[in-house]
Amino acid sequence: MAEQFISRGFKGRMRETDRALKERIPPGQYETKEFPVLSAGPTPRTSLERWDFSIYGEIAEDLKWTWGEFLKLPRETFTVDIHCVTKWSKLDTVWTGVAVDTLLEGVDLDAQPTVSYLMAFCDGGYTTNLPLADVRNGKAWVVYEYDGRPLAPEHGGPARLLVPHLYFWKSAKWVRGFKLVREDRPGFWETAGYHNHGDPWKEQRYEGD
């Protein structure tokens, strides 16, 4: 039924978009040049003196960096497309931050092969869950600059997770740490009706998709 339905009189406008660009827009998404803000509660503001980033959980030794230490970690500047479950996609966004691979260097994951998930924790209480396979091998970063400038609080500053190949709610704002665990548990939106994995190319928006 759904396949045959035509919205009478609807023409749409995305076909004016360049073909090469169109191939970078996942199904059901549209391109925006703006940078919309979405979050479930107030924007937390943590002073950089009190900010730290920790990795803990079912691992031998916890890791922790202060803001100053975090800035000294090897940084990468990279350009990616981002896709929000609320339907907008933004192409060629430029970020600077630390690869999750770099953060995980101090964790002997080979010694703990059953630890294969992480829960990202954030100021404000937000959480999101990810398989480690989705954040390793150059797939994810903790970023603190957007477009060459410090990341604004409403966009997740001082630092946010960035996992561009998944819907943007997985790129947790105001991130403060990872808990590495054996068992996958749903995070904030994942318990509120959204998909556990969130691959935009498979249109995994909501539970059951």
Partner 1 sequence: MAQQLKWQLGTVVEIREETPRAKSLILDLPDWTTHLAGQHVDVRLTAEDGYQAQRSYSIASPPEDTYLMITVDRIEGGEVSPYLTDELRVGDQVELRGPIGGYFVWDSRAEKNDGSPLFLAAGGSGIAPLMAMLRHRANAGNKVPTRLLYSSRSYEEIIYREELDRLSANDPSLHVIHTLTRQRPQNWTGYGRRIDLAMLADTAWPPAEKPLAFTCGPTALVEAVADYLLELGYEPGRIKTERFGPTGG
| Residue 20 binding partner 1, by CB under 8 A | no
Largest CA distance in the chain: 62
Which residue of 124, 165, 184, 197 would you call a contact of partner 1, by CB under 8 A? 124
Looking at the DSSP assignment, which residues form a beta bridge with residue 52?
Answer: 66
Q: Which of 22, 106, 26 is nearest to 64 (CA)?
A: 106
Pick between residue 72 and residue 206 the one whose CB is nearest to partner 1.
Answer: 206
Pick between residue 170 and residue 205 the one whose CB is nearest to partner 1.
Answer: 205
CB of 151 to partner 1, least distance (A): 15
Strand 63-66, strand 52-57: pairing: antiparallel
Count of H-run helices and E-run strands, the chain: 3, 11
CB of 18 to partner 1, least distance (A): 15
Per CB under 8 A, the segment of 7-15, 59-67, 94-102, 164-172 that binds partner 1 is: 7-15
| Residue 16 binding partner 1, by CB under 8 A | no
| Residue 206 binding partner 1, by CB under 8 A | yes
| Residue 14 binding partner 1, by CB under 8 A | yes
| Residue 12 binding partner 1, by CB under 8 A | yes
Could you give the CA distance from residue 81 to residue 184 in angstroms, rounded to a whole number? 27
Which residue of 76, 103, 112, 209 would you call a contact of partner 1, by CB under 8 A? 209
Tokens at residue 147, please?
């477009």
Which residue of 24, 39, 54, 116 would you call a contact of partner 1, by CB under 8 A? 39
Could you give the CA distance from residue 45 to residue 37 in angstroms, rounded to a whole number? 16
CB of 201 to partner 1, least distance (A): 15
Chain-centroid distance, C-alpha 26: 16
| Residue 152 binding partner 1, by CB under 8 A | no
Give residue 96's region: left, alpha or beta (phi > 0; psi -120 to 50).
beta
Pick between residue 8 and residue 149 the one whose CB is nearest to partner 1.
Answer: 8
∠ CA(206), CA(91), CA(26), 5° rounding?
Answer: 35
C-beta separation of 182 from 76 below 8 A: no
Interface ranges with partner 1 (CB under 8 A): 1-2, 5-15, 27-30, 32, 34, 36-44, 86-88, 124-125, 154, 188-189, 191-193, 205-209
